[in-house]
Structure 1
Amino acid sequence: MSATTPEVHTDLVLEPRDVKFDWSRLPLHWIPDEPVATHTINVLHLLLPEGERWFTKVFKDALPLITDEQLREEVLGFIGQEAIHAEAHQEVLDHLVGQGLDPRPYVRQIAWMFQKVLGEKPRLGPRKRRENVIERVAFVAAIEHFTAFLGNWALNSPGLDRAGADATMLDLLRWHGAEEVEHRSVAYDLLVHLDPGYGRRVRGMLIGGPLLVHLWVRGLRFLLAADPELRGSLKPSWRQAWEISQRGLLPDPVQSVRSGLRYLRPGYHPTQEGSSGQALAYLAASPAARAAAAAH
């Protein structure tokens, strides 16, 4: 697809899939003998419940500003999918508590950040409130770029299968990843609809990208320190992350940086990332998604 002629929200119908997962047999280190890889991915469960609830709040605030009916329908579908994502990851957090790893101190900090620092400013006038909504949409668009990158990686990560990763967790990661690829254009298209300028897009990434890395590193350090089986014996390092990524258990850090840089290209559009066909194929085969479809 040409960078100058992106396919912008064409006939996209987003279906919230009310999936259910059974975590009763999930081991604490669900990638066998790989606690650092396990907990690096587990940071998703720390960030996403509060983060995706915030995404849905931002998009609900943006609904009155949308004048394109097709885009409005996509935003509503996005809201429905993200709400289910938040609950699915929340269930993993609840399971971790039962395994003796209490994530709540870190999650409280994340909740404070999204609700207080990045939340709605109720005393703003109409013009400044609109600007605040669009600024938050730009932040969501930047983060959604990375969730689509991670989703595409999850769909193409045979190293996790080779390592014997828990099948239920793999289905969660790939179901969620497939939906992130499926709706990868919505936040960006909403941003361009509200502000077609380049500056706000760049600002969203320059703030959102480093913040996401910072929160991820802090989350990994927290999980390794709180893990009752490790007792603080492991400390993460970038070299370790690189070595684990070369075994296919984590995204390649260099590719992650390149992904962020692609977002800054003037001709960028999210349809250049990942494959909708691959995402929909996985959603048709996912055990959890199939069970959800059969239940309705």
Structure 2
Amino acid sequence: MKVRDIDIDFSTAEVFWTPKSPEFAQFWNATSSYLPYLEPFLNRVVREGMGQLSDGDAQFREDCRIFIAQEGQHYRNHEKFNTMLRASGYPELDDREAVMKANYEGYLKDRGLKFCLGYAEGFETLGPILACYFLESARELQDPELDDPTADLWRWHLAEEYEHRHVCNHLFHRLFPGYWYRLFGIFYSGRHMFAYMIRTTLYLLGEDYRAGRIRNPWRSRLRLLGVGGRMLAYVLPRLIQSMHPSYDPLDIPPPERSMEVLAKAEELWARKRPQ
């Protein structure tokens, strides 16, 4: 694990950063829109959990520290992208984001560490699965003409999701060992996040249809079914496997090219220091 100081320039980014499949781009754009609220929530939860670890957990404390730093890099870059997205013709996006922001603030205020860490662990269970899908199987990303900084954003982000995949899982088991509550966290967080992602994807595409940015809505809907179906077919069996009582995220093999992706992110997008 390593903290990478990444600062992506989105001045050339397009909303449809996979131009042959704008539906794929809009699904991940919808996902990006709530990450600046989710990831600070994750960081606060992990930081609170760290305070309850024993003094003998020095190495794991360092893993938690790196997790927090990586997630901070992620949401700051997503917020830069989201600023561009909001200005591109989606007037209700602010209000949709505000609901998720309020949800996470409410969880921190009212639900306690066990619930919040269960939610965080549920989300982080999806992280390495989505990383492997994105880096290995998403055919939308195999286009040799794809050249957009948003693709770099997601490749780097998800490769780091794989890298810190064990932190929330191991922290949860140290503080609240129990199989069934972990499953509750997976189902609760999955339902909460995917409901937002699907509704917001449909909203973004609806605005695109109305504005004429996508000219054949019926063909677009068929493409969206393909995007969702292929991702679900990849994710669902692996998510079921992750529910086994002996699951340990450290056992997941690394995605293809993950280290290459991380090295490229540093080469292209490392924050420039003053001379």
Normalising by structure 1, we get a TM-score of 0.81
Q: Determine helix, strand or coil for the equivalent of 1:226.
A: helix
Report the equivalent of 2:270. Answer: 292
The 1:208–1:238 alpha-carbon spacing in structure 2 relative to 1, beyond 3 Å, is: farther
Q: Partner letter of residue 259 of structure 2?
A: L
Equivalent in 108, 115, 122 of residue 105 of structure 2: 115
Structure 1 residue 152: Cα displacement: 1.8
How big is the alpha-carbon RMSD for the aligned residues of Structure 1 and Structure 2? Answer: 2.7
Report the equivalent of 1:138. Answer: 118
Mapped partners of 1:236, 1:111: distance in 2: 33
Structure 1 residue 163: Cα displacement: 6.8
The 1:262–1:91 alpha-carbon spacing in structure 2 relative to 1, beyond 3 Å, is: same
The 1:108–1:160 alpha-carbon spacing in structure 2 relative to 1, beyond 3 Å, is: same
The answer as to whether partners of 2:124 and 2:165 remain within 8 angstroms in 1 is: yes
Mapped partners of 1:76, 1:181: distance in 2: 16
The 1:273–1:241 alpha-carbon spacing in structure 2 relative to 1, beyond 3 Å, is: farther
Structure 2: which 5+ residue stretches go unaligned?
A: none
Structure 1 residue 290: Cα displacement: 5.2
Report the equivalent of 2:68. Answer: 79
Report the equivalent of 1:106. Answer: 96
Mapped partners of 1:178, 1:50: distance in 2: 20
Structure 1 residue 191: Cα displacement: 0.7
Q: Partner letter of residue 226 of structure 2?
A: E
Q: Which has the higher helix share?
A: 2
The answer as to whether partners of 2:30 and 2:200 remain within 8 angstroms in 1 is: yes
Mapped partners of 1:235, 1:144: distance in 2: 34
Mapped partners of 2:244, 2:183: distance in 1: 9
The 1:98–1:294 alpha-carbon spacing in structure 2 relative to 1, beyond 3 Å, is: closer
Report the equivalent of 2:156. Answer: 175
The 1:289–1:219 alpha-carbon spacing in structure 2 relative to 1, beyond 3 Å, is: farther
The alignment covers a number of residue pairs equal to: 268
The answer as to whether partners of 1:148 and 1:274 remain within 8 angstroms in 2 is: no
Report the equivalent of 1:215. Answer: 196
Mapped partners of 1:83, 1:146: distance in 2: 19
Report the equivalent of 1:34. Answer: 21
Mapped partners of 1:188, 1:179: distance in 2: 15
Structure 1 residue 97: Cα displacement: 2.7
Mapped partners of 2:152, 2:187: distance in 1: 32
Mapped partners of 1:277, 1:106: distance in 2: 35
Q: Partner letter of residue 112 of structure 1?
A: A
Report the equivalent of 2:134. Answer: 154
The 1:62–1:207 alpha-carbon spacing in structure 2 relative to 1, beyond 3 Å, is: same
Structure 1 residue 236: Cα displacement: 10
Mapped partners of 1:146, 1:167: distance in 2: 25
Q: Determine helix, strand or coil for the equivalent of 1:172.
A: helix
The 1:139–1:269 alpha-carbon spacing in structure 2 relative to 1, beyond 3 Å, is: same
Report the equivalent of 2:2. Answer: 15
The answer as to whether partners of 1:149 and 1:274 remain within 8 angstroms in 2 is: no
Mapped partners of 1:44, 1:267: distance in 2: 30
Structure 1 residue 285: Cα displacement: 2.6
Mapped partners of 2:45, 2:234: distance in 1: 29
The 1:264–1:234 alpha-carbon spacing in structure 2 relative to 1, beyond 3 Å, is: same
1:237-263 CA-to-partner distances (Å, cap 9, x unmatched) read 9964442367xxxx5212221122112
The answer as to whether partners of 1:146 and 1:260 remain within 8 angstroms in 2 is: yes
Structure 1: which 5+ residue stretches go unaligned?
A: 1-13, 122-128
Q: Determine helix, strand or coil for the equivalent of 1:100.
A: coil
Q: Work out whether 1:244 is the aligned partner of 2:222.
A: no
The answer as to whether partners of 2:133 and 2:235 remain within 8 angstroms in 1 is: no
The 1:277–1:192 alpha-carbon spacing in structure 2 relative to 1, beyond 3 Å, is: farther
The answer as to whether partners of 1:50 and 1:111 remain within 8 angstroms in 2 is: yes
The 1:204–1:235 alpha-carbon spacing in structure 2 relative to 1, beyond 3 Å, is: farther
Q: Determine helix, strand or coil for the equivalent of 2:109.
A: coil
